[in-house]
Amino acid sequence: MKYSTIVIGDELLIGQVTDTNSGWIARHMAPLGWESQSVRVIADDASEIKRAIDEAFSLTDLVLMTGGLGPTKDDITKATLCSYFGGEMVLNEDVKRNVDEMFARRGIPMNRLTASQAMVPSSCQVIQNEVGTAPIMWFEIDGKVLVSMPGVPVETQTMMERAVIPRLVKHFHSDVDIEYRTFVVIDYAESALAEKLERFEQEMPDYIHLAYLPAQGVIRLRLTGTHSDSKSLNDDMERLSKQLHKLLGKSIIADADKPLSQIVGERLRELGLTLSTAESCTGGNIAHVITEIAGSSDYFMGSVVSYSNDVKHRVLGVDDTVLDTCGAVSQPVVEQMVNGACAVCHTHCAVATSGVAGPGGGTPDKPVGTVWMAAKVGDIVTSKCLHFTGSRAQIIDRATTHALIMLLKLLK
Amino acid sequence: MKYSTIVIGDELLIGQVTDTNSGWIARHMAPLGWESQSVRVIADDASEIKRAIDEAFSLTDLVLMTGGLGPTKDDITKATLCSYFGGEMVLNEDVKRNVDEMFARRGIPMNRLTASQAMVPSSCQVIQNEVGTAPIMWFEIDGKVLVSMPGVPVETQTMMERAVIPRLVKHFHSDVDIEYRTFVVIDYAESALAEKLERFEQEMPDYIHLAYLPAQGVIRLRLTGTHSDSKSLNDDMERLSKQLHKLLGKSIIADADKPLSQIVGERLRELGLTLSTAESCTGGNIAHVITEIAGSSDYFMGSVVSYSNDVKHRVLGVDDTVLDTCGAVSQPVVEQMVNGACAVCHTHCAVATSGVAGPGGGTPDKPVGTVWMAAKVGDIVTSKCLHFTGSRAQIIDRATTHALIMLLKLLK
C-alpha cells in the first residue's frame, strides 16, 4: 500500500532547514508494508497546500503531512485544512489542557499565540501531542485519511511511534508483504560491484529489486521484495542473501543498515577491546560518530583532538623534530599520534588522522584533500595516505569513514 | 521567477539517504531572484518521472532535477528523459573523453557500465561534469527548460556553481528582485518572540514577509521581500533590519544565516583569543562543529574528549575524590574540566560538558538529558545544568548548541 508525504515550510523550500521527517517516516512505515509514493515539499501557502493534498489523494489513500503547525503567523496549515475538510475552528478542551500542563511543567506563562494552538478544525479527530503543544489532526474523507503533524522532528517522530502508526495499522489493512534486506559493502566501486552482480541481478525473481546506495567508500545494497505470499517472499530473500554473501565474502561488513561506527563498536565489544582517537583534520568527528552510538562508553575511552602542533607534541608525545622535518601531515606523525592516543587514553586500539581539509592550507606536495591516517590494534599499526576531493565538510566526512574502514579491516 | 525541483531516487524515498541537494540549490538560486515553487522526491520509475515533469512544467518554466544518473541498473532517468523530450540515445564523444580521463586519473580501468554514461539523449545539450562521470543534460521544450544533474551532492553543487547557474542567468531574465535578510536570535522562545514582534509585523509593507525558523535555543528570523523596484525594496529592508536590532538588542547574535560555531569563531578572532574543549557527553561534537569552519585552526587548538573517568582524571586533572563523591555529571567536574582544557591545550577559553545522553545511564537524580556545562574566558568560569529531551543524537546536538551559546555570552 502506498502513501504520500507532504512537508510544509518556507524554511525547507528556501533551504535553511533540511527535511528529515519524511525519511524517518519512510524508514518506520516500510516495515509495516507502506511504500512511499512521493514526498512533496511546499511553502506555507494555502493554495499550494490544497493543490498538494488534491494531487496526493489522487495517487494514494493515505497522506502524511508534517509542518506548518507552530504558534506563529507564518503557519497557516490549520486554517487551510479546516477550509479543505469543512467545519469550523473550535476550541478543543483536551488540547488546551495539554498546552496548559506543558507550560506549567516548564514554569513559563502561556501567551495568547500559544493559546491559539488549542483551536482545531471541527472536521478532525485530535491526537494529543505528548511532547509538544501543536495537536496532531486526523482527517477522513471518502475513505481516505490525512494526518497532519507538527514539523519539529522529535514531536512528529515520538507521536508517530506512540499514536499515529498504531492507529494507521488498525485503520488500514495491507494484504501485500514488503521485505527489505540491506548489506553494507566495502572494497568496491559502484560500477565494479554492478558488474560483479550482473548475473545475480538477471536471475532474481521479478518481484525483487536490487538498489545500490553508495556513500563514501561504502556501498549499501538493498533488496526489496513485494509479494502476497509472505512465506515464499521470505524464502526467496533468504536464498538471495546467502548468494550475496557467497559472492562478496568479507566485503560484506554488515547484514543490516547500520552506520560504520556501530559496526566498529559491535566488533570491539565482541573482541573485548577499547578504542581512542587522535584527530587533527577530522577535528573530533571520529569521536563524535563513535559516541553517537548508545553504549559506546563500554569501549570508547576518549580522544585527543590535536589541532595545533603544540597539542600533538605535548599531549600525544609526537616528536618535535619529526613535526619540523616531515610536517604534521605525514606518515611518522600519524603513527606517533595513534601510539600516543593508546598511551594517553589507555586503550588497545586507536585511529589517527592528519590532513589538509581545506579550502586553504594546501601545497603542491600536499594539496587540499591529502589525509594521512593510521590505525592500531594491539601491537599492529597500519598507515596510509588518501586523497579526497570535495568541500571541507566532505573531506572531513570521507576521512572519518576511511579511518573507520581502516580500523575495521584490522579488527577482522 | 519560480522553479521546481525534482529529486529522483528510491534511496531517498525509503529514507536511507537524506536529500540535501534541493536545499543547497534553493540557497544558491534565491540570491539570483529564483524562488523555489516546490521540491518533489520520487522513485527511480519512468512513469513517476514523467508525471513529475508534467506537473512541474505546468507550474514553472524551469525544472531542476537531481539524481538517477549513476551507472547502475536502478538508474533509468536518462532513458525516460530521452522518451519524454524525443530523439534517441547517442554516444557523446566529449562525455566519453571526460569519463576516460577521469578513470585514467584515478588509475582504474573503465568498465562497460561506466562506458554507458557517455550515451545521452540526442535532444539534450550536454554540460560536461568536471568532477564526476555522469553528464549534466540541458533540455528545452516550448520555451521551458529542464536541467538534469547527478545525485552526488559534490557533483551537483560544483557543476551548478561552475556551469548551470551562469547558463540559467543568461537564459532567463528576471524583472522582480528578491531580497533576504536573516537574523540569528537567542534568549527567546518562538511564541515569546512572536509576541514581542507582533506590532513590527503588522506594520511591515505587504510585500515583505517575516518567517521564524526555530532550532534548539536559537531562532533564525528571515525577512523576505519581493519588489520590482530594487532601490525601494533595499531601503525598506534596511529600515526593518534597524528596527529589529532596536527591538531585540544583544539577542541578535548575527546578521546573516551562519552556524553558531562560525559566530563564535569570528568573535574569538576579533578578540584574539584561543579555544579548546573538554567533552564528555558531547563526545567530540563541539570540537567537530568548530573545526567544520574553514580557518578554525587560527583560534582552535584542540580538545580532550574524556569519555572515561580515567581520562578526565589523568589528562584533564579532574580530582578523583570529586569524581567519586559528586559523580562525573556535576558542577565541580565540568568546572575542573574547563580549567583542565585551558591548561592542557594552552588556550584562553574553553567549554566543557558532562551529561547523560541516554538512552541508558539515567538515575532518578540525574535522568537522561541532564547535562552540566561550563565555559571559561580568561579568569571567568560559568557553569550550569540543563535538562534536554529527545533522542541521544538530539541531546548531543542541543548540549553542543547550548555550550556554544554559553561561551558566546561570555565573549560579548
- Tens of pLDDT, residue by residue over A205-226, are 988 888 887 777 789 898 888 7
**Are B216 and B71 contained in the same domain?**
no
Indicate whether B270 pLDDT > 70. Answer: yes
CB contact under 8 A, B307 and A291: yes
Range of weakest confidence among A168-172, B64-68, B136-140, B364-368: A168-172
Q: Is B368 helix (H, G, I), strand (E, B) or coil?
A: coil
Rounded Cα gap, residues A369 and B131, in angstroms? 14
Q: Does A115 touch chain B (CB under 8 A)?
A: no
Question: What percentage of chain B reaches a pLDDT higher than 70?
Answer: 96
pLDDT of B28: 84
Contact partners, residue A272, CB within 8 Å, separation at least 6: none
CB contact under 8 A, A55 and B52: no
* Better-scored residue on pLDDT, B357 or B99: B357
DSSP B121-171: ETTSEEE--SSSSSPEEEEEETTEEEEEE-SSHHHHHHHIIIIIHHHHHHH
Q: Does B308 touch chain A (CB under 8 A)?
A: yes
CB contact under 8 A, A359 and B55: no
For chain A, which ranges sit under pLDDT 70?
Answer: 31, 73-74, 105-110, 113, 173-176
Strand partners, B300: B275
**Are A12 and A68 contained in the same domain?**
yes
The domain spanning residue A340 has which CATH number?
3.90.950.20
**Are A88 and A127 contained in the same domain?**
yes
Question: What percentage of chain B reaches a pLDDT higher than 90?
Answer: 70
Among A171, A191, A209, the domain boundary falls at A171
Among A151, A171, A191, the domain boundary falls at A171
CB contacts, 8 Å: A16 with chain B = 23, 27, 182, 213, 220, 222, 257
Distance (Å) from the C-alpha of residue A358 to the closest C-alpha of chain B? Answer: 7
pLDDT of B391: 83
**Alpha-carbon distances of A231 from A29, A177, B103, rounded to whole Å:** 21, 10, 45
Q: Does B114 touch chain A (CB under 8 A)?
A: yes
**Are B81 and B219 contained in the same domain?**
no
Rounded Cα gap, residues B411 and B391, in angstroms? 30
Best mutation target among A20, A28, A307, A386 (most B Cβ atoms within 10 Å) is A307
**Are A204 and A268 contained in the same domain?**
no
Pairing of strands B35-42, A35-42: antiparallel
Which value, in Å, is the radius of gyration of the alpha carbons in chain A? 26
Rounded Cα gap, residues A267 and A324, in angstroms? 37
**Are B128 and B192 contained in the same domain?**
no
**Are B92 and B42 contained in the same domain?**
yes
CB contact under 8 A, A222 and B307: no
Summarize the confidence of residues B224-244 as an average pLDDT.
91
CB contact under 8 A, A71 and B190: yes
Rounded Cα gap, residues B382 and B349, in angstroms? 12
CB contacts, 8 Å: A344 with chain B = 311, 314-315
Rounded Cα gap, residues B161 and B159, in angstroms? 5
**Are B204 and B268 contained in the same domain?**
no
Rounded Cα gap, residues B341 and A111, in angstroms? 42
Q: In what order do the strands lie in the sheet with B144-149?
A: A125-127, A136-141, A144-149, A62-66, A2-8, A35-42, B35-42, B2-8, B62-66, B144-149, B136-141, B125-127
**Are B167 and B42 contained in the same domain?**
yes
CB contact under 8 A, B73 and A201: yes
pLDDT of A173: 67
**Are B75 and B185 contained in the same domain?**
no
Q: Residue A392's domain spans which residues? A: 260-411
B210 to chain A: nearest residue by CA? A74
Please identify among residues 21-40 of chain A the ones whose CB lies closer than 8 Å to any CB of chain B: 22-27, 30, 36-40
Mean pLDDT of chain B: 91
Range of weakest confidence among A55-69, A175-189, B273-287, B392-406: A175-189
pLDDT band at B51 (very low <50, low <70, confident <90, very high): very high
pLDDT of A37: 96
**Are A141 and A275 contained in the same domain?**
no
* Number of domains chain B is built from: 3
For chain A, the distance separating the N- and C-terminal CA atoms, rounded to the nearest angstrom, is 41
CB contacts, 8 Å: A222 with chain B = 10-11, 14, 16
Determine contact, residues A409/A385, Cβ cutoff 8 Å. Answer: no
Please identify among residues 366-395 of chain B the ones whose CB lies closer than 8 Å to any CB of chain A: 389-394
pLDDT of A214: 78
The domain spanning residue B100 has which CATH number?
3.40.980.10
Give the 3-state secondary structure of B178-226.
EEEEEEEECCCCHHHHHHHCHHHHHCCCCCEEEEEEEECCEEEEEEEEE
Is the complex ipTM more than 0.90? no
Among A150, A171, A192, the domain boundary falls at A171
Indicate whether B284 pLDDT > 90. Answer: yes
- Cβ pairs A/B, distance under 8 A: 315
Cβ atoms within 10 Å of A63's Cβ, excluding its own: 23
Chain mean position to CA B366: 33
pLDDT of B110: 67
Distance (Å) from the C-alpha of residue B122 to the closest C-alpha of chain A? Answer: 24
pLDDT of B27: 83
**Are A236 and A138 contained in the same domain?**
no
Distance (Å) from the C-alpha of residue A215 to the closest C-alpha of chain B? Answer: 9
The domain spanning residue B227 has which CATH number?
3.30.70.2860
Q: A137 φ, ψ to 5°?
A: -120, 130
